[in-house]
Structure 1
Amino acid sequence: MLGRQQAPTVLLGTALVHVRDTIGSCQTVRALIDSASQISAITSACCNRLGLQPSRWTVPVTGLSGQKVPDVQGIVQLTIQPRDKPTPAIQVKPWVLSTITSDMPARQLPVQVRAKCSHLMLADPSFDEPAPVEMLIGADIFPQVWKNKCSSLGPGFPSVYSSVFGWVLIGPVQEHPDIGAQSMLVSLVSSMESIIERFWKAEEPEAAPPQFTEDGLCEELLNSDMRKDQAHQPSTYDG
């Protein structure tokens, strides 16, 4: 199983941001940062949690390959800001959609990725754990959240980019096999072989009975012939 190749994981940038609800309190929202999207968006579930009422909007929204995005519920106006400070406070008008994307990342990332960036203040401290995306930060406000710093974590690891929310990880992730899991499988195979060997030792006799061996059969035939000869010999008596 461990030898089977998996599709490469490409990490997209996520951030935990503060969004003000209808009473002015800040709530944490997990956002995907995507400069290729012309609009920003928010899920209807997150919109309800914030107590925001969407305004009706009839302009169609299209996605990848020109596919029409279904169930557009309107548009809202809100303010987002970093979790650790009140500025910058960025005004945004995201579209309200039933869903934005599936959980990201698609699967748990290798622990080596987290170890590589443990010294950084990350925009999403749980970037390596699959979790829902509640908001999409698109190109309409991308220039306000992005900075110009970038650093590579090394071959096989994503790069980190600076933003007003902290460092964001983006890029392909090479699979790093878990040595412990490999050792466990090898140990399991060894244990199975040992069990089978003990089973056959318990089922087989220590040695075959003499009558089933070649030497034993020859000896039995010889003894049988001798008994027959003795039976046919005449008896002699001394007179």
Structure 2
Amino acid sequence: MWLIAHQHLNVRFAQNHITLSCIIRNYQLPTNIKSAGSSRRTEHAAIPNDNVGSHSHLNMSSTEQIILATALVLVKDSSGSYQVGRALLDSCSQVNFITEEFSKKLSVSKHKHRLHVSSICSSLANVKYQTLTSIKSRHSNLELALNFGITNHIAYQPSSEINISSWKVPPNTPLADEQFFKSKRVDLLLGAESFFDILSVGQIKLYENLPVLQKTLLGWIVSGKCKGQPFASPAAKCLLSFEDTVSDQLEMMWNIEEVQPASKSWSPAHVACESLYRETVHQNAMVRLPFKDSLDCLGLTHNIALHHFCSVERRLSSNRALKQDYQEFMKQYRELGHMSRVETPKTNESHYYIPHHCVLKQSSTSSKLRVVFDASCPTTSQRSLNDILLVGPTIQSELYLLLLQFRLHRYALTADIVKMYRQILIDKPDR
């Protein structure tokens, strides 16, 4: 049995951002939120008029308003349970949206996804994050898994409360939103991706100057023009309100030009590993293995390692040159003192036999053969040595910062530390 020191290296990859353009319909916005196009003018390719759907309130009287279809749906959260959210149904939106407040309530994970949203008057807005979750109907078996762009605000519907005391809604029409007449915040916007999948056959026209009831798999939705209480300014209104202001754009420019190290956001495991390292490692001292679990959870490994060893032996027996290189590698390992022979193994104590095999890399200029020691091989308890070791945080600079540094100087040098991971001395109790 040979004792070998080993170490792991974490590599962080840069994430690509995908850009997508979409056209959405304009909706109302609370008076305290600025219109997306009011902060600045943005020049970009013209959008054909027949591709943009919009509602104009400019010619409407102060006692009329358009009711947009809303529905209460069940939305899956991070625990697999469902929470009720208020959705706005929009057949002219190419993207589904969810408010940041509601996504936090669901605790769903989000990922970076650049999305440029184009609306009427060539105004642009940007979505930086996207999330995936499922919605389910309260009145049928309908369930859809959808991607949602995360935005700060969607809309309030309707703009003011509507008096429906004189309306005669048929009793056999379960509404998708029982309080459609109350001005409430919208949590979700369901676009054309799912709009036509939820429609059903059935429509009821209440009376003149009253909206229409449309049957859907989410329940009966209410939509259309109606006469109601006077509401604030009848000017055209906009759905999304996250267009960056001039100051935001300037701040983004400064952030791009100024290179700063990323703030440490370590997990509890990273913190524990760092603390253990600071407490146990000193200059010219030996390193302790950062165990997070007891060694007693490791099962038997002798037969497993022996099986791997016999498999390697059979492979090497058919290739004499490969066998010689393998033996030379292990001989050098021993002569350099990177492993030592165990004369009297203490099998009654917790231990771990590490299987090993060879990897050939013909393009290598230094060593075409390397022996890999597999500390992730599970024991009879299905736990491996790597499973019970803490993984430290990534301490090297971001990859893009390293690339940028190559452009700051005329000359750049690269070097490789020979057998770097074998230069670490493991403390005797952990050998």
TM-score, normalising length: structure 1: 0.66
Distance 2:211 2:163 in 1: 12
Q: 2:348: which partner in 1?
A: none
Specify the SS of the correspondent of 1:30. Answer: strand
1:15 to 50, 71, 80: 71
Describe the superposition over 1:186-209 as per-residue Cα deviations: whole angstroms up to 9, x where unpaired: xxxxxxxxxxxxxxxxxxxxxxxx
Specify the SS of the correspondent of 1:116. Answer: coil
Distance 1:98 1:28 in 2: 19
Distance 1:64 1:53 in 2: 31
1:99 to 147, 153, 164: 153
Distance 2:191 2:154 in 1: 12
Pairs within 5 Å for 1:47-196: 47-70=103-126, 72-85=127-140, 87-101=141-155, 103-112=156-165, 114-175=167-228
Q: Which segment drifts farther, 125-134 or 108-117?
A: 108-117
> Which residue identity does 1:41 align to in structure 2?
F
Distance 1:116 1:33, change over 3 A: same
* Aligned 8 A contact 2:95 2:192 in 1: yes
* Aligned 8 A contact 1:112 1:176 in 2: no
Distance 1:67 1:34 in 2: 19
| Structure 2 gaps, min length 5 | 1-60, 231-431
Deviant stretches of 4+, over 6 Å: none
Distance 1:148 1:65, change over 3 A: farther
* Aligned 8 A contact 2:139 2:219 in 1: no
Distance 1:95 1:159 in 2: 29
Distance 1:79 1:34 in 2: 18
Distance 1:65 1:9 in 2: 22
Q: CA deviation at 1:105?
A: 0.4
Specify the SS of the correspondent of 1:108. Answer: coil
Specify the SS of the correspondent of 1:76. Answer: strand
Specify the SS of the correspondent of 1:90. Answer: strand
Distance 1:119 1:176 in 2: 27
Distance 1:113 1:170 in 2: 17
Which has the larger Rg? 1
Report how many aligned residue pairs link the two structures. Answer: 170
Distance 1:100 1:113 in 2: 30
TM-score, normalising length: structure 2: 0.38
Distance 1:174 1:158 in 2: 9
* Aligned 8 A contact 2:160 2:229 in 1: no
Specify the SS of the correspondent of 1:157. Answer: coil
Distance 2:136 2:66 in 1: 26
Q: CA deviation at 1:120?
A: 1.9
Q: CA deviation at 1:137?
A: 0.5
Distance 1:163 1:170 in 2: 12
Distance 1:52 1:21 in 2: 6
Distance 1:114 1:27 in 2: 30
Specify the SS of the correspondent of 2:185. Answer: coil
Q: CA deviation at 1:111?
A: 2.2
* Aligned 8 A contact 2:161 2:181 in 1: yes
Share of identical aligned residues, percent?
24
